[in-house]
Homo-oligomer: A and B are copies of this chain.
Amino acid sequence: MPELLFPLDSSKSFTDQQIVGHNRWHPDIPPAVTVKPGDTFRAHCREWFDGAIHNDDSADDILNAPLNNVHTLSGPFAIEGAEPGDLLIVDILDVGPIPQEDSGPLAGQGWGYTGIFATRNGGGFLTEQFPDAYKAIWDFSGQSTTSRHVPHVKYTGMVHPGLMGTAPSPALLGTWNALEATLIATDPDRVPPLALPPEPDGAVLGSLSGAEFDRVAGEAARTAPPRENGGNQDIKNLTKGTRVFYPVFVPGANLSFGDLHFSQGDGEITFCGAIEMGGFMDLHVDLIKGGMETYGVTENAIFLPGNTDPQYSEWIAFSGTSVTLDGEQRYLDSDLAYQRACLHAIDYLTTFGYSPEQAYLLLGSAPIEGRLSGVVDIPNSCATVYIPTAIFDFPIAPSKEGPVQIDPGMGAPTASFG
């Protein structure tokens, strides 16, 4: 095991740890740890809701989740000698659930969860169809997982960090805040909101305190979106063996990461999302000095995916186009097309006996592929979603005999604001 530079105690909250991480982006959050190019190290990662979600059969915790407290990131890790303009090489040597702890009350201790937010809390990709809160608990057995809330499926997880990135420069942070404020201003009362402005409530900023804490908390960007620094990209393919190249915007690069997922479908359509857990990351870091200009990288991560992702060779796929359910023709809207493809998949799965929310939770967490198949054929985009057939313990392809009927079990817990 590489040296553990960022330990977490599963029995303590995120802010009571030996080293306190952060849950906002700001160049002035001090590095928690300093490493050298070429170093290999381990860090623990806290599950993104800091333990608020329980291994039970109620969705109340999802409904009342502490939204301002996310994401509980490990870091920042300063890399000696990193300067703006460099490319930071991050090798994901390993990533997994909380080591040595396979049972307990904290997600990552042998289990994880998939949640769907109620619309008021941000909703999910299909919030118009699923306005309430839902939850599924997934039990881990090695790298495979099953759920009492979504029975008759078992799959191998694509374990990855949902969130990783470097600190923004002051200028980049300013741009984020300006652009996002402009967007929010176009419809400030929208539910769910268009974007999340800086929010001092719930901010955790590492070792900062006092006035400096207050200043930074008022300026720091939220961690929800992916941005130029990487961030909450939720790329399911950042699995073990992946090499990522991040642009460096501040001296030391200030790498942070978290939001570990045991598995996720492309898009993380359930928002809360994937199979959430705490765990560990083993990383190796290095630098390409001046690499941003050398390789034409101004922003966003480049990566070389690992080669140990679970292999599935048979798939059932669904397609969608950019016409709304209400019958409005949109212009080349791949998000709408992907929504429609996902809804088609859900409609299909319900003919076998699943509830719609079970199917939705499955699509958010299983290693499904979501592809931008056609993006130029005016006025309709075509998006496709692929589900591996081997994850079901019953035959899932269409046949003349019609769908077999499964026992959906207890179903997925639901909660609403009533």
The stretch of A5-13, A207-215, A223-231, A248-256 in contact with B is: A223-231
Shortest Cβ distance from A190 into chain B, in angstroms?
9
Chain A interface residue count, CB cutoff 8 Å, equals 130
Q: Which residue of A122, A294, A377, A400 has the most chain B CB atoms within 10 A of its CB atom?
A: A377
Which B residues are in CB contact (< 8 Å) with A341? 300
**Residue A36 is within 8 A (CB to CB) of chain B in the complex:** no
A298 closest partner in B (C-beta): B347
Query: CB distance B284 to A141 under 8 Å?
Result: yes
**Residue A418 is within 8 A (CB to CB) of chain B in the complex:** no
A328 closest partner in B (C-beta): B179
Which B residues are in CB contact (< 8 Å) with A81? none
Which B residues are in CB contact (< 8 Å) with A233? 319, 373-374, 382
Known contacts A180-B379, A319-B235: does B224 contact A156 (CB below 8 Å)? no
**Residue A1 is within 8 A (CB to CB) of chain B in the complex:** yes
Query: CB distance B372 to A240 under 8 Å?
Result: no
**Residue A99 is within 8 A (CB to CB) of chain B in the complex:** yes
Q: Quick one: copies of this chain in the complex?
A: 4
Query: CB distance B374 to A226 under 8 Å?
Result: yes
Shortest Cβ distance from A129 into chain B, in angstroms?
14
Which B residues are in CB contact (< 8 Å) with A241? 142-144, 156, 310
**Residue A390 is within 8 A (CB to CB) of chain B in the complex:** yes
Which B residues are in CB contact (< 8 Å) with A228? 321, 323
**Residue A60 is within 8 A (CB to CB) of chain B in the complex:** no
Which B residues are in CB contact (< 8 Å) with A243? 397
Q: What are 8 residue pairs bridging A and B, where the CB atoms are less than 8 Å apart in the complex? A: A1-B100, A232-B377, A235-B374, A294-B403, A295-B398, A296-B351, A297-B347, A302-B317
